[in-house]
Chains A and B, each alone.
Chain A
Amino acid sequence: MSQSSRKKLLLMGRSGSGKSSMRSIIFSNYSAFDTRRLGATVDVELSHLRFLGNMSLTLWDCGGQDVFMENYFTNQKDHIFKMVQVLIHVFDVESKSINKDIEIFVKSLTNLQKYSPDAKIFVLLHKMDLVQIDKRQELFTIMMDKLQKISNPYHFKLIGFPTSIWDESLYKAWSQIVCSLIPNINLFNSNIIKFNSILDAEEIILFEKTTFLVISSTASIKQQQQQQQKKVSNGKADKEETEELDPKRFEKISNIIKTYKQSISKLRTNFNNLIIRGSNGTTFYLDILTENMFIMVVLKKKEEMLNGASVEQNEESLVLDNIKAARKWFEKIENSK
């Protein structure tokens, strides 16, 4: 058990495609602007990250210059490609030599099939900000079709994301990558659904503490359930209520809170909680849930409760108490592994 909780992630791609920049932003609190200072990665840079307490990720950031690349596929191949849980392959959308890029991708697929056939493959089309907005989706579809076709002979299913360090797409991609590694995600999901019904909240989101990647949210669980129901009963397609809200909001929240964390680090401190009473009756509670998680609860004010400020004050402490009470449940799940 303890062995499998150690995950090996390979981060690969041609030189200059932005691999180290991603790593620095997600795991080392760099801002997108700071990544200009990063130099070329020499050979493989290992970083050990603790995620959700007892899950430890080893990220192998593989330098992408041809000299090193050759080495990975020849001398070091059993060292590099053994026991891999996840391969994250980064493509630079501006790259001039796509054939060369794909050739390397194929080489790593070949090796992966041989040494760790159960690995999950994620493809990131990076630097999307350099493509015109209206052409992004088209380019992404074309590229993904092509890559899926190439990888079919190797029996790998690809999951792809368009990413850029200048917006929240990077958080979306990494949040899904990391979530695919959490073993007891279903327990978390069922517990926040329960918690949500107690609080009657608009939405609850769970974040990992250091990276602020989204682990789980009530909206995404509901979506999954609906899709499953549709498959089973093919029933009435009632319109999802949350569709009115910004579909990118999770990534945006990750981004905003990370900015906030960086901002108050100037006062040499960190934050414990954040309560925002919004301008149209929405209240946000961001609080520590466990040692490794933050929770965000969004409450919508119901019509009949709009009277009196004294009620609001009480409600705030009520919700905070509820979160405190929920803590022990989530801590139990976290330590259960």
Chain B
Amino acid sequence: MEAAIVPHPKDTNATILLMGLRRSGKSSICKVVFHNMQPLDTLYLESTSKPTNEQFSSLIDLSVMELPGQLNYFEPNYDSERLFSSVGALVYVIDSQDEYLNALTNLSMIIDFAYRVNPKINIEVLIHKVDGLSEDYRMDAQQDIMQRTGDELLDLGLEGVSVSFYLTSIFDHSVYEAFSRIVQRLIPELPSLEHMLDNLVQHSSIDKVFLFDVNSKIYVATDSSPVDIQTYEVCAEFIDITIDLDDLYIENDQSNNKNGVRGAGESKELRSVSHLSSGSTLYLKQMIRGLALVALIRNEGFNDTAADSEKSLTIIEYNVDLFKQALMKMWTPK
């Protein structure tokens, strides 16, 4: 009976399982990241009673399954085995503002079970709601949680399992950053994507480039230079601004067939360029499958004339077009 309510995940690689104790903030994360809900509105979310499953089609077809916190996974009639064998990543949410010892015990039990069923599973732990903790205390909490989890796993004889930890909060961009990393692990083509982006960066005087999923602001890939959280935020917000402005001037009668399939078929791709007074340039171009490429382009040299920047932009434009063609080649439907 119980097992019937768990939906069948179709794609075995790209399912993310969101777990955690009750009130740890799973539904809020889901709503904020994938539904653009305002963080403050998540206060009014009801407690989740059934496992929910959501499909997102981006570069990969992602599905996020959220399990209610109060579920007992080890009831004999609950088909946990099938569940764990079919997911690519297990995300466990720990409320860092609450007493977390209980959660840690629960976590190690789940890891124990999941790992035995599916040794290839990625285990990710979100140390959540860190917005309420002071800067020093965050580090302490993370240290403590990592230490204790390590000990518990050692006791269970699972020292080979690698667990990644993230400090997250829905009130800043850390949760997007964490999810970006989590999703990236599920994309088998990631190394070649990164290589392509590195190539682009080398030949186009770009400081930093992200490949964003437009709806969720998760970046599916970036070049190999370290991610600066501020650059990420600016780039993510640049997408919002571009889309918001563009939407204002779409007439009502056209908006029906525009929704959902933006940029598909005849309509033109979205492109936006902004010159900053520091000399850098923000550049956005729509790619395939609801993706957008956002780059921060630095100014080259001191002769900062308009004609020069126009020229370098043309080169970048050309390179980005090549990149897009490569993307299309990799993801053509077979």
Interface of A toward B, CB cutoff 8 Å: 202, 244-246, 249, 252-253, 256-257, 259-260, 263-264, 266-282, 284, 298, 313, 317, 320
Q: How far is the CA of A249 from the CA of B249 in the complex (A)?
A: 8
Residues of A within 8 A of B246 (CB): 276, 278-279, 282, 284
The reply to whether A274 and B310 contact each other, CB–CB distance below 8 Å, is no
The reply to whether A277 and B241 contact each other, CB–CB distance below 8 Å, is no
Residues of A within 8 A of B263 (CB): 279
Residues of A within 8 A of B80 (CB): none
Closest chain B CB from A53 CB (angstroms)? 19
The reply to whether A268 and B278 contact each other, CB–CB distance below 8 Å, is yes
**C-beta contact mask, B241-283 vs A, less than 8 Å → 1, else 0?**
1101110111111100010001100011111111111101010
The reply to whether A256 and B276 contact each other, CB–CB distance below 8 Å, is no
Contact of B249 among A260, A271, A273, A298 (CB under 8 A): A298
Residues of A within 8 A of B233 (CB): 263, 266
Sample of 20 A–B contacts (CB below 8 Å): A244-B252, A252-B248, A253-B245, A259-B237, A259-B240, A260-B238, A260-B241, A263-B237, A264-B282, A267-B231, A267-B278, A269-B277, A271-B277, A272-B277, A276-B242, A277-B268, A280-B254, A282-B246, A284-B246, A320-B306
5 A-B pairs closest in CB distance: A269-B278, A276-B272, A263-B237, A274-B274, A278-B246
Interface of B toward A, CB cutoff 8 Å: 230-231, 233-234, 237-238, 240-242, 244-246, 248-254, 258, 262-263, 267-278, 280, 282, 286, 306, 310, 314
Q: How far is the CA of A246 from the CA of B252 in the complex (A)?
A: 9
Closest chain A CB from B95 CB (angstroms)? 23
The reply to whether A279 and B286 contact each other, CB–CB distance below 8 Å, is yes
Residues of B within 8 A of A202 (CB): 249
Closest chain A CB from B306 CB (angstroms)? 8
Residues of A within 8 A of B241 (CB): 256-257, 259-260, 263
Residues of A within 8 A of B253 (CB): 244
Contact A256 to B277, CB < 8 A, known contacts A267-B230, A280-B254? no
Closest chain B CB from A171 CB (angstroms)? 14
Beyond A275-B272, A279-B263, 20 additional pairs, beta carbon < 8 A: A249-B248, A252-B244, A252-B248, A263-B241, A267-B230, A267-B231, A268-B278, A269-B277, A270-B276, A271-B277, A272-B275, A274-B273, A276-B242, A276-B272, A276-B273, A277-B271, A279-B250, A279-B262, A279-B286, A280-B254
Closest chain B CB from A156 CB (angstroms)? 36
Q: How far is the CA of A279 from the CA of B310 in the complex (A)?
A: 22
Closest to B282 in A: A264
Residues of A within 8 A of B240 (CB): 259
Closest chain A CB from B160 CB (angstroms)? 41
Q: How far is the CA of A245 from the CA of B273 in the complex (A)?
A: 24
Q: How far is the CA of A253 from the CA of B286 in the complex (A)?
A: 21
Residues of B within 8 A of A249 (CB): 248-249
Contact A279 to B280, CB < 8 A, known contacts A252-B244, A272-B275, A274-B273? no
Q: How far is the CA of A317 from the CA of B309 in the complex (A)?
A: 12
Contact of A269 among B242, B244, B249, B280 (CB under 8 A): B280
Residues of B within 8 A of A260 (CB): 237-238, 241
The reply to whether B249 and A263 contact each other, CB–CB distance below 8 Å, is no
The reply to whether A276 and B270 contact each other, CB–CB distance below 8 Å, is yes
The reply to whether B277 and A270 contact each other, CB–CB distance below 8 Å, is yes
Residues of A within 8 A of B271 (CB): 276-277
Residues of A within 8 A of B248 (CB): 245-246, 249, 252-253
Give the one of B237, B258, B276, B310 with max A CB within 10 A.
B276
Closest chain A CB from B149 CB (angstroms)? 34
Closest to A267 in B: B234
Closest to A284 in B: B245
The reply to whether A263 and B254 contact each other, CB–CB distance below 8 Å, is no
Give the one of A202, A249, A260, A320 with max B CB within 10 A.
A260
Contact of B268 among A270, A279, A317 (CB under 8 A): A279
Closest to A296 in B: B245
Q: How far is the CA of A253 from the CA of B246 in the complex (A)?
A: 10
The reply to whether B272 and A263 contact each other, CB–CB distance below 8 Å, is no
The reply to whether B274 and A271 contact each other, CB–CB distance below 8 Å, is yes
Contact of B258 among A259, A270, A280, A317 (CB under 8 A): A280
Q: How far is the CA of A275 from the CA of B252 in the complex (A)?
A: 23
Q: How far is the CA of A271 from the CA of B281 in the complex (A)?
A: 9
The reply to whether B274 and A275 contact each other, CB–CB distance below 8 Å, is yes
Closest chain A CB from B253 CB (angstroms)? 8
Q: How far is the CA of A276 from the CA of B282 in the complex (A)?
A: 11
Closest chain B CB from A311 CB (angstroms)? 13
Q: How far is the CA of A272 from the CA of B280 in the complex (A)?
A: 10
Residues of A within 8 A of B242 (CB): 276
Q: How far is the CA of A11 from the CA of B246 in the complex (A)?
A: 35
Q: How far is the CA of A202 from the CA of B249 in the complex (A)?
A: 10
Q: How far is the CA of A215 from the CA of B238 in the complex (A)?
A: 25
Q: How far is the CA of A320 from the CA of B274 in the complex (A)?
A: 13
The reply to whether B276 and A272 contact each other, CB–CB distance below 8 Å, is yes
Closest to A320 in B: B306
Residues of A within 8 A of B273 (CB): 274-276
Closest chain B CB from A213 CB (angstroms)? 17
Residues of A within 8 A of B262 (CB): 279
Contact A313 to B314, CB < 8 A, known contacts A252-B248, A271-B277? yes
The reply to whether B272 and A277 contact each other, CB–CB distance below 8 Å, is yes
Contact A256 to B245, CB < 8 A, known contacts A267-B278, A271-B275? yes
Residues of B within 8 A of A298 (CB): 249
Closest to B273 in A: A275
Give the one of A252, A277, A320 with max B CB within 10 A.
A277
Residues of A within 8 A of B286 (CB): 279
Residues of B within 8 A of A271 (CB): 274-277
Q: How far is the CA of A282 from the CA of B272 in the complex (A)?
A: 12
